[in-house]
Each structure stands twice: as structure tokens, then as C-alpha cells.
């Protein structure tokens, strides 16, 4: 990934924190929700490691092959579960995007002879322009869609804000903080923004 070191630091911290939260989410919810949280934790940590500024640490050349294998396996896993709904398809796109970035950033990609992780990859800048552009469009739309879902819907007329009850005159129990759906959606939005930024500076 090309670009200033500051953006690398910000992406590293943001993706690492998001991956850590997704890891906490693997302890709650249904099996499908835990599986989704595991996939998102892998994506968050993978993006954090990929965003480490070259001035701090230079990834060994073999790490790019490991990236391709790990996220290639994650893509196959997403294909197996793609019948379960659209979010598994999003995991598939994300895993394939990570494979694409790993191949593009690998030393020697596109005939480059540079020094690996410095500046985030010595591959041909931008990889395949059409593919990079398609991924950028996908993630831009995903971010806009996710941001729209985070905007609270107006309360129906006659219902007080926060007035949901448990049917017995009491307040419904709030879910654990790590299981709150809006936080999970915010994490997905964060990773979508980070993926867009990484593709933009590829």
C-alpha cells in the first residue's frame, strides 16, 4: 500500500481495535453470528498487519504467500456458507480482496524489484486497474449502505423514545455490550472504510 506513514498507523490501530472487538463477539450469539465474528476478526487483524508502516516493520517476502493462502482458505469457507445469506457473500468479497492485495503487494509482482513491505508492497501500483476500481465501487457502496443502516429510524407516533418494554411493565433487558447489533454494524462499517482506503492507496 502506497501512501503516508500516518495513514498506515491510523489504519493499523483502527483495524486492530476492530479485530479485537470482533474477537470478543465470538463468545456470544448464535453459531452463525460467532462464525461471522470470527471471519471479521480475521479480516480486522489481517488488515491491521497489512497496514503496518514499512518504517516500523518490513514483512518477510514469504508473508505475502501466507496472506494469499490464509485468505484464499477464508474465501473458500465463505463460499461454503454463502447459501446462508448476503453477509457471507460480503466475507467472500473481502477475502478475495485481501488475496488480491497480497498478490499485488508481493515483491516482484508486476515485474517490480523493490523491497517488499516498504511503502506497502513493491508490486505494480494499483494492481489491475479495472479490478481495483470494481472493488473501490463495491466498498464505497457498502460503506454508504452500512452508514445508512446506523442512522436511527424515527420512533412511531405515540411511542416514547426508549419506551420498549418486556410486556410486564418493565424495561426489556439490554443485550451485552459486545453483542449489540449496532456495534457489530459499526465494526463492519469501519472495516469497509479501511478496505476502501487500502485499495485507494494500493
In a domain, 118, yes or no: yes
Mean residue pLDDT of the chain comes to 77
In a domain, 164, yes or no: no
- What is the rounded average pLDDT of the residues 150-173? 52
C-alpha–C-alpha distance, residues 95 and 195, integer Å: 11
For residue 126, give its domain range: 5-151+176-200
Q: How do residues 82-109 score in pLDDT, each as one tens digit?
A: 765 667 788 899 999 999 999 998 876 6
In a domain, 166, yes or no: no
In a domain, 21, yes or no: yes
In a domain, 156, yes or no: no
Instruction: Determine contact, residues 193/143, Cβ cutoff 8 Å.
Output: yes
The string of DSSP codes covering 27-58 is: TSS-HHHHHHHHHHHHHHHHHHHHTS-TTT-P
Give how many domains the chain has, as a whole number: 1
C-alpha–C-alpha distance, residues 154 and 92, integer Å: 33
In this prediction the pTM is 0.75
Amino acid at each position: 500500500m502506497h501512501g503516508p506513514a500516518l495513514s498506515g498507523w491510523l489504519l493499523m490501530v483502527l483495524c486492530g481495535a476492530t479485530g479485537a472487538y470482533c474477537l470478543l463477539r465470538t463468545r456470544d450469539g448464535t453459531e452463525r453470528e460467532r462464525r461471522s465474528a470470527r471471519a471479521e476478526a480475521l479480516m480486522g487483524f489481517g488488515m491491521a498487519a497489512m497496514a503496518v508502516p514499512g518504517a516500523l516493520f518490513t514483512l518477510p517476502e514469504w508473508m505475502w504467500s501466507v496472506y494469499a493462502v490464509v485468505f484464499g482458505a477464508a474465501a473458500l469457507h465463505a463460499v461454503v456458507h454463502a447459501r446462508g445469506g448476503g453477509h457471507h457473500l460480503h466475507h467472500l468479497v473481502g477475502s478475495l480482496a485481501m488475496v488480491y492485495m497480497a498478490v499485488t503487494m508481493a515483491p516482484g509482482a508486476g515485474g517490480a524489484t523493490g523491497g517488499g513491505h516498504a511503502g506497502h508492497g513493491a508490486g505494480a501500483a494499483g494492481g489491475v486497474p479495472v479490478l481495483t476500481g470494481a472493488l473501490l465501487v463495491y466498498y464505497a457502496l457498502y460503506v454508504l449502505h452500512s452508514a445508512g443502516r446506523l442512522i436511527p429510524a424515527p420512533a412511531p407516533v405515540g411511542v416514547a423514545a426508549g419506551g420498549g418494554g418486556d410486556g410486564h411493565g418493565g424495561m426489556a433487558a439490554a443485550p451485552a455490550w459486545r453483542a449489540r447489533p449496532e456495534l457489530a454494524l459499526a465494526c463492519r462499517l469501519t472495516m469497509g472504510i479501511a478496505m476502501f482506503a487500502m485499495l485507494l492507496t494500493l
